Amino acid sequence: MAQVTGSNCKLVYDVESTFGTTPGTPNATVIPFKSEGFSADIEQLSSDVITGNRNATAAFTGNTSVKGSISTELDPYMGTLLKHLVGSVTTSGASAPYTHVLKVGSLPTSLCFEKQFTDLTQYFLYNGCRINKGSFDFKPAGVIDTSFDIVGQKRTISGTPIDATATDAGHTPFEGFQAAILEGGSAIATVTACKIDIENDIQSDLYTIGGGGLVSSLPEGMSKVTGSLTAVFDSMTLLNKAINSTESSLKITLAQGTGAGTAGNESIEFFIPELKFKASDPTIKDAKGIMIELPFTAYYTNSTEASSIQITLKNTSATI
């Protein structure tokens, strides 16, 4: 039998209305991905009992820990994943194009993910999944590398997929040269890189007696939005903001075509209305140009958006 190859594999997801339960009528969506790390780790426990000799007794099964990761590229049709990362979404538009505004709020119930080894017709289904962290790497050109860290409840293996006709929206990723960036409300032309991390601090150790070794729930904690900005060191402006703990803001917009949201003209905006940079002195690494890298932490105090981050997505999807 020929070896399974990654190029023939698929990764799909569906939305769960009940935690840990596959929808009765699945409506799965294909995720374009570069790599994934879904796995169920089942504890193997042993007894300390003395049996009259030095041989170990047979191992027995303990708790199941489900974790996953997805490495992909930011595209206009991953709105559902963004909603399960951030929490709250408001959609406007009577017909396409639609505008989806995402803010920090209670996370939706859960997702299920399935990785499909089609060469072997084997399907690994992970239920009760919640997104613990999302990372976005912005750069002047090329795709926007995006990753999601996921925790889940259980894994089952089957010879049939949850949805043989999963929706595939294709993949037309946003690119760095499509981006515009504002810092403190003004355009800035010296940024060479920016990273944004959104974390949910999900608790993943709620095992209960009689629960079959599965977590009973995966409650989220406080949302935490952090990142870093790398820029050409040509003035003290950014560094002084960090040194003086001056509040600033950051807005990154990526638009395909007109950015209006119609097919081929999708857009996405990451807006952090309130943040403070951490002071970090520039270092001289060689004789070439000096850069400055400033970590930042977002928060909400009194911004109109009432959220530490707001993501605005315009596309042709009526719902996300």
Is the confidence at residue 1, as pLDDT, over 80? no
Is the whole model's pTM more than 0.85, yes or no? yes
Q: Can you tell me the mean pLDDT for 152-167? A: 97
What is the rounded CA–CA span in Å between residue 315 and residue 226? 26
CA distance 33 to 78: 11
**In what helix (H) or strand (E) does residue 239 lie, and over which residues does it extend?**
helix 237-243
Region 282-303: mean pLDDT is 95
Partner residues linked to 152 by β-bridges: 66
Band of pLDDT at residue 7, cut at 50, 70 and 90: confident
DSSP state of 275: E
In this predicted structure, the answer to whether residue 6 has a pLDDT above a threshold of 90 is no
Q: What is the pLDDT of residue 2?
A: 74
Q: What helix, strand, coil percent values describe the chain, rounded to 5?
A: 5, 45, 50
- Predicted confidence (pLDDT) per residue in 201-230, tens digit: 999 999 999 999 999 999 999 999 999 999
Contact 148, 125 (CB under 8 A): no
Q: Angle at CA 196, nearest 5°, toward 195 and 202?
A: 135
- Indicate if the pLDDT at residue 18 is higher than 90: yes
Q: Which residues of 130-142 are buried (b: 16+ CB within 10 A; e: fewer)?
A: bbbbbbbbbbeee
Strands 60-73 and 145-152: antiparallel
What would the pLDDT profile of 97-126 be if each residue is shown by its tens digit? Answer: 999 999 999 999 999 999 999 999 999 999
Mean predicted lDDT score pLDDT of the chain? 96
- pLDDT value at 81 more than 80: yes
Q: Tens digits of per-residue pLDDT, 40-66?
A: 999 999 999 999 999 988 999 999 999
What are 199's two structure tokens? 């974390």
Q: Which pLDDT score, from 0 to 100, does residue 256 have?
A: 97
Question: For residues 121 and 160, what is the distance between their CA atoms, to the nearest angstrom?
Answer: 7
In the chain, the DSSP E strands lie at 10-16, 29-30, 35-36, 39-45, 60-73, 87-92, 98-104, 110-117, 122-138, 145-152, 154-158, 179-183, 186-187, 191-199, 224-232, 248-255, 267-277, 291-298, 310-315
What is the average pLDDT across 87-94? Answer: 96
pLDDT given at position 5: 85
